[in-house]
Amino acid sequence: MASINKPLEEYASVKTWYQGLREQSGVEPNEDKSRLELLAEFCATLELDPDEIVAACLLRKEGKETKISIKGRRSMAERITDFQAKGGAEGRERAKRGNAVRSFLIHNGIQLQSGIQI
């Protein structure tokens, strides 16, 4: 179990996410802090820090190109679906829970397609 011992914004993967939101999605992440709160909740659920969540979706072997782990990504997608279902939200709020985490992973290079969530 990793302990989150610094503000989430200081993790490299969160910096990458924020940069991607600004540059590729045209979204200012600081305008809606709920994204980060949802990521924090997801981290707590998995007992992993943000960088570890990204790493869990990757296959790293010495001397070889890093690949996306099919098993790791599938498992993470299922955990996001579970996470989205928890919390009692419905409709858009429910979708927002999952999509905050999906957005975090996508901007970190983990390709995910969730399908329509509403």
Partner 1 sequence: MEFKEVVGRRRSIRYFQSWRSVEREKIQIMLEAARLASCAVNATFLKAIVMIRDNIPRETLDALKTPVSGLTIELAPVHIYTYVDMGAYKGAQARLKKLVDVGALNISHGWSHKFVDEFVWPNILKPLAENPNLASVAASAASDAGIAICQAMLAGVDEGLGVCLTAFQHDAINKLVKAPKDWIPLWVLLVGYPAESWEAGGQRPRPPLEEIFFEGEYGKPFKGDPKVTEQMKAAKMIQAQAPLPWRKEEIKALARMFGLPE
Q: Is there binding between residue 54 and partner 1 (CB under 8 A)?
A: no
Q: Of 8 and 100, which has the nearer Cβ to partner 1?
A: 100
**Interaction between residue 25 and partner 1 (CB under 8 A):** yes
Nearer to partner 1, 25 or 45 (CB): 25
Determine if 112 is a binding residue for partner 1 (CB under 8 A): yes
Output the six-digit token pair for 78: 């299922």
d(CA 67, CA 56): 11
Question: Nearer to partner 1 by C-beta: 3 or 113?
Answer: 113
Exposure b/e, 47-64, CB count within 10 A at least 16 = b: ebbbebbbbbbeeeeeee
**Least Å from the CB of residue 26 to partner 1:** 3
Closer residue to partner 1, CB minimum distance, 8 or 21: 21
Contact 59, 73 (CB under 8 A): no
d(CA 73, CA 93): 23
On whether the CB atoms of residues 54 and 63 are closer than 8 A, the answer is no
Question: Is position 71 an interface residue for partner 1 (rule: CB under 8 A)?
Answer: no
Quick one: which segment of 7-15, 38-46, 49-57, 108-116 binds partner 1 (CB under 8 A)? 108-116
